[in-house]
Amino acid sequence: MTQAFAFDVAHMFAGLLVLVSFMMLYQDRLLPLIDALTLHSLLLAFSVAWQAYVQDKPDLYVTAFIALAFKAIIIPMAFRRMVVRMNLHREIETAVGTGITMLIGIGLVALSMDLMLRVTAGANALVREDVALALAVVLLGLLMMVTRRNAISQVIGFMSLENGLILAGTGARGMPLVVEISVAFSVLIAFIVIGIFLFRIRERFDTVDLQALDNIREARR
């Protein structure tokens, strides 16, 4: 296998992750958004497995398995069950229009590419471009958290952001396995705690829309 082919496949997975991040920004309903998160995590698992093969680091296969099992199967299934039980099938309220959000996302991708390619000028080509694309995934996840008013969509934005951090860590060849496992379990525990809070909020206020919760709080003052 040539180095150029290894670069091309790694960049293809990283580029597809950026593309699916835009798909997540475009979605205005929760179930399609959860499907996009599943695809996002599945691509991350493939990307990490490819890095394990290219770098000859068997421990990265464990990271790929964790991403596949927890982030592409267990957590999306739990999200779907949560959405069905809470009957949250209506459109997601957004703080900014979809068109403007997509334009901001394009700007963030351009910014991350320009910034990281300048900062990592002396690094390996594979690392430079993978880290630049990973930063784009992180920024797009952050953008989703800022522009969505629904608590579940903000959690999904956080998880896509964390996918970008794992992509950067595996591409940079510096993240120890114990740290990767710790991060994965931290995300799982955070998801469980957030799920419990969401159920409690839904039972008490009959909504998980943050704007509606703000209105309730203002009305009680």
Per-residue pLDDT of 89-126, as tens digits, reads 666 667 778 888 899 999 999 998 888 777 777 666 66
Per the structure, the count of domains in the chain is 1
Q: What does residue 175 show for φ and ψ, rounded to 5 degrees?
A: -90, 120
Cα distance between residue 140 and residue 108, in whole Å? 7
Domain of residue 92: give its range.
3-219
Give the model confidence (pLDDT) of 52-87 as tens digits: 888 888 878 888 888 888 888 988 888 888 788 777
119 or 14: which leads in pLDDT: 14
Nearest in space to 62 (alpha carbons), one of 49, 50, 73: 49
- Indicate the DSSP class of residue 87: T
Q: Could you tell me the pLDDT band of residue 39, with boundaries at 50, 70 and 90?
A: very high
Alpha-carbon torsion angle 39, 147, 11, 37, nearest 10: -10
The pLDDT of residue 184 is above 90: no
What's the whole-model pTM score?
0.79
